[in-house]
Structures are given as C-alpha cells and as structure tokens.
Amino acid sequence: MWVHMFGYFSASGMNEPDIKCERLAPSEYQKRFSDIKPAFNQNQALVESSRCLYCEAAPCVQACPTHINVPSFIHRINTNNIDGAAKTILEANIFGGSCARVCPTEILCEKACVRNFEPECQPIQIGRLQRYAIDNFSQEQYPFQRATPSGKKVAVVGAGPAGISCAHGLACMGHDVIIIDAGTKPGGLNEYGIAAYKLVDDYAQEEIEKITEIGGIEWKLNTHLGLDIQLDTLREQYDAVFLAIGLSDKRTLSLSGEESAGVKHAVDDIAELRRTENLSQISVGKRVVVIGGGNTAIDIACQIKRLGAETVVMVYRRSVECMSATWKEQKFALLNGVEIRTNCQPVAIQHDSGKVTGLLLDQTVGNSDSAERISIDADIIYRAIGQTMCCEHLALDKEIPEIQNGRITVDEQRRTTVKGVWAGGDCVDFGENLTVQAVQHGKEAAASIDRYLKTGG
C-alpha cells in the first residue's frame, strides 16, 4: 500500500513534512465518511414527489444524458408504484442507482427543473427520488430478460460504466459478452474515482452484480489492453469490440521539484480511499495543497480534510467562473473547510532533502497582468489536473482507430474508424466525463453493435 511507500512520518524539524495516519479519534472516521446525502424515507419521498409538476415535454428529461422519463418515475413514486418507477429509470439508465448518487444533478436534470424559477426557486430533488426508487425496488433481479441467444460474441474493453452499460445492452439483445479490464475489480471510475462518502457500502459492486445477473457476461480482469491482449486479436476472436478504456494517463505539471516525495496524483489517493478497509491507516499531511479546479480536485481536497488535515488549499490557475467543479461542489468544499484560491499559477514545487515543503505560485488579481509570487507550505501536494488517454493500449495494433487530440474519434453511433470497433465513455468524451454520459455511450454503442451483428453492416 502506498501508505508504506514513504518511510517518513511526523518529524521534529521545522521543515520536516508532517505526514501521519490516525489523525482522528477512531469513531470519527465512520462519521465523516458516511453517506453525505442520506436516502429519503417514504414520507420524504412522497412529499418531494408531490412537488413535481409533471411537465409537458419536461426539460429534465432532455437534460439527462440518458433521457430518463423523470416526471413519469416521480409520478409513480407519488402513487406508490415504486417498482414501476425503478423500471422507468433502469430502462433508460442501467446505472440509475449510482447515477442517482454521483450525478452532478445541479448541472443536469435539476438545473432544467422548472421549479428553479420563481416562486419556488428550488428544483425537485430528482437524484434523491431516483435513489429512493432504485433502493426500494422490491424484486430480486433487475427487470430485464435476455433475448434468444444470437451466437454472436462481443468483447468490451473496460469495466467502467460505459463498458458495463454496453455489455448489459448487448446481453439483453442475446449476444454473449466478455468484459476485459486491467483492474482487479470491475467498476472503473464508479469503483475507484468517486469520493467515498458519495457511494458508500460497496454500492458500486452491488450494483454491478445486479446489472450483470442477466447472464451472458463473462469477466476477464487483470488484463491490460496492449500488454496482455491486443485489439487485433480481439477483432479476430470476436464479432465486435467496444473500447471503453477511459483516461488512464495522469497529467503532470512539468514543474521543478515535481519528483519530490509528497507530490501525488489525486486519482491515486481517491482510489486508495475506496480500496482501504481502514481509513485511519491512510496517512495524511498536516498542510495539503491541491492543484486543480475540477470535481476530482474537490473530491481529494474534501476527503483529505475529513481525514484530519489541518489546512487544505485548492489552487486553480484561472478565475472561479472557469472552474469545472460545479457550484454545488465548490460550496461543499467550502463547507468542509477547504480554502479555494483562484488565479494562482503554480511555478515550482519547493522541497528539502527530496521531500516537498511547499508550492510557489504566481497570483494575479483581477485582469491585472502583474502577478504576485507567493508560497504555500505543504507536506503533500496533489495534482488534480486531469487525465489523458493512454495511447499505448493500441500501439502494437496493425489497424488503429483514429485518435484526435487524445480521444478516439467516433461517429454518432459510437463507431470508430475501424470496422467492427466501437468506443465510448471518457476515452471519446471531450465533455465533463460524467458517469451518466458514459452509460449513454454504452447504450448507444450496444444498439449500433446489435444492428451491425444482425445486418452485418
């Protein structure tokens, strides 16, 4: 575990980094990492669902990348038809359960809700109602059945939401699917990329089990595309291939001192926080700086603060309006005691004896060109400046799908430039890299692959 990779803990010298585990009393960990948005009870769900206006051509449906029929499922909740509500959701979005928890609804369905207008100025809590419907679905299995087996086999590379969504769609249509993934567990970013308090109680795995219960889906984990298996081989062995390989290369800053111990990637520790059995054993700096302005930066900043860091400062090079973290996430960070500093361009990482001691920044004020050089002391610096696609996955193949600006090129049906190969999820997406968007890509690809397998073209 990475905790043990560094051989140092809290030290005595002034400039010695103060990094240690067990910063909190044992009882605090559970409290600080329990569900941040607890489930609705029946009464809350009835009251909230009765606020829905059952809009005509509802904007929330259009705003959802998977086009869940929101007014209909809410109406069903309100009339105590919970199973009907869950079916409505799952038919459009097989990851309805985790999307209900992790979707930034404030920029999707809830942003479009007409209740945002005066006089209410408060959208329906669509995400929480969606969770209520899925959590209270009474049947053992998700309500899908496989069509007559087609005898066709499809390889899906990547066990994240895009890959599993595609696999489920294909399995429903009667095709056999093998899901290949480099990880030891399926789930992709739903398993490893979400703040622990957003998806508690191993929900990502529970949901995947439910989704794949339909049958016809085989797993091949611990298998790296490009290393253990090639796209060429998959194209020979399977009738179609869906690439949902995400963005596995982490961006670096190219700053002096970046190689110092204590300079980390946010995604690594976000994953570690999901993996660990014991949060108290995660070592945390006393003074932490997070570089970046997206939701990943917020996720690491808030989690580290909750693990007992004394100060957590998020630094972002541009203005607050440019931050990709939603206003709700920013507010959450502030509530957690994270300090957000904008217009701060990192210049160099300060270090001593190979260990990070601080971050040097140029801070600009307003539109002024002149910058003030400042430094922030830090025991740990996280980089949360995005990921890129790892092109080595496809390096050895004879025929390589077109890649532009670090993303695989696809058409509206998610077809790549290589016949029989589709792609979806973050590896094709220049947008927000949302779970719900990935699910939709998988759905669209499954429909296209099905047409291809049935018609051969």
Partner 1 sequence: MADLSCSFLGIESPNPFWLASAPPTDKALNVYRAFEAGWGGAVWKTLGEDPPPVNVCSRYSAHKSSSGEVIGINNVELITDRPLSVNLSEIRQTKKDWPDRALIVSLMVPCEKKSWQDILKQVEDTGCDGVELNFGCPHGMPERGMGAAVGQVPEYIEMVTQWCKESTDLPVIVKLTPNITNITLSASAAKRAGADAVSLINTINSITGIDLDSMTALGAVGDKYTSGGYCGSAVKPIALNMVGQIGRHPETAGIPVSGIGGISNWHDAAEFIALGAGNVQVCTAAMLNGFKVISDLTDGLSQWMDSKGYKALNDFRGRALAGLTDWKYLDLNYKTVAHINQELCIQCGRCFAACEDTEHQAISVKPLSGEGWERRFEVQKEQCVGCNLCQITCPVNNCISMVRGNEGSEYLPWVRHPANPLTEKP
Give the residue from 189, 45, 11, 222 showing the smallest Cα distance to 125. Answer: 45
Which C-beta is closer to partner 1: that of 118 or that of 201? 118
Q: How far apart are CA 146 and CA 317, in angstroms?
A: 50
CB of 162 to partner 1, least distance (A): 25
Encode 54-70: b = buried (16+ Cβ within 10 Å), e = exposed.
Answer: eeeebebbebbbbebbb
Write down the least CB distance from residue 407 to partner 1, Å: 25
Interface pick for partner 1 out of 4, 5, 27, 57 (rule CB under 8 A): 57
Output the smallest distance, CB 300 to partner 1, in A. 31
Residue 9 binds to partner 1 (criterion: CB under 8 A)? no
Q: Which is nearer to partner 1, 3 or 53 (CB)?
A: 53
How far is Cα 308 from Cα 231, in angstroms, rounded to an integer?
45
Cα-Cα end-to-end distance for the chain: 48
- For every residue of 399-437, DSSP letters joined together read S---EETTEE---TT-B-SSTTEEE-GGGT--S---HHH
Among 3, 11, 53, 395, binds partner 1 (CB under 8 A): 53
Nearest to 198 by CA among 313, 106, 329: 329
**Least distance in angstroms from the C-beta of 267 to partner 1:** 31
63 binds partner 1 (CB under 8 A): yes
Contact by Cβ (8 Å): 168, 445: no
210 class by beta-carbon count within 10 Å (0-12 exposed, 13-18 middle, 19+ buried): middle
- Residue whose CB is less far from partner 1, 109 or 159: 109
The answer to whether residue 214 forms part of the interface with partner 1 (CB under 8 A) is: no
| CA–CA dist 404, 258 (Å, integer) | 28
Report the distance separating Cα 213 and Cα 141, nearest Å. Answer: 7
Does the footprint of partner 1 cover residue 131 (CB under 8 A)? no
* Cβ nearer to partner 1, comparing 44 with 345: 44
Please list the residues that pair with 155 across neighbouring strands. Answer: 178, 241
Instruction: Choose between 99 and 124: whose C-beta lies nearer to partner 1.
Output: 124
With CB under 8 A as the rule, give the number of residues binding partner 1: 22
- The answer to whether residue 54 forms part of the interface with partner 1 (CB under 8 A) is yes
Q: Kindly write out the interface string for residues 71-100 of this chain, putting x where it contacts partner 1 by CB under 8 A and - elsewhere.
A: -------xx---------------------
Which CB atom, from 119 or from 456, has the smaller least distance to partner 1?
119
118 belongs to the binding site for partner 1 (CB under 8 A) = yes
Q: Does 319 bind partner 1 (CB under 8 A)?
A: no
The answer to the question of residue 255 lying near partner 1 (CB under 8 A) is: no
Segment near partner 1 (CB under 8 A); pick from 110-118, 266-274, 330-338, 425-433 = 110-118
Q: DSSP character for 30?
A: H
3-state helix, strand, coil in the chain (%, to 5): 35, 20, 45
List beta partners, residue 355: 261, 352
As measured in angstroms, the least distance from the Cβ of 121 to partner 1 is: 10
Nearest distance in Å: CB 120, partner 1:
8
> Contact with partner 1 (CB under 8 A): which of 12, 117, 140, 201?
117
Q: Is 43 in the site for partner 1 (CB under 8 A)?
A: yes
Q: Which is nearer to partner 1, 52 or 423 (CB)?
A: 52
Among 82, 112, 247, 389, binds partner 1 (CB under 8 A): 112
Give every strand in the sheet of 153-157, ordered side by side: 217-220, 176-180, 153-157, 240-243, 421-423
For residues 344-359, one letter each, b for 16 or more C-beta atoms within 10 angstroms of the residue's C-beta and e for the rest, the string is: bebbbbbbeeebbbbb
Q: From the CB of 366, what's the least distance to partner 1, in Å?
A: 29
Q: Bridge-partner residues for 375, per DSSP?
A: 360
Residue 55 binding partner 1, by CB under 8 A: yes
User: Which residues are at the interface with partner 1 (CB under 8 A)?
Assistant: 43, 46-47, 49-50, 53-59, 62-63, 78-79, 112, 114-115, 117-119
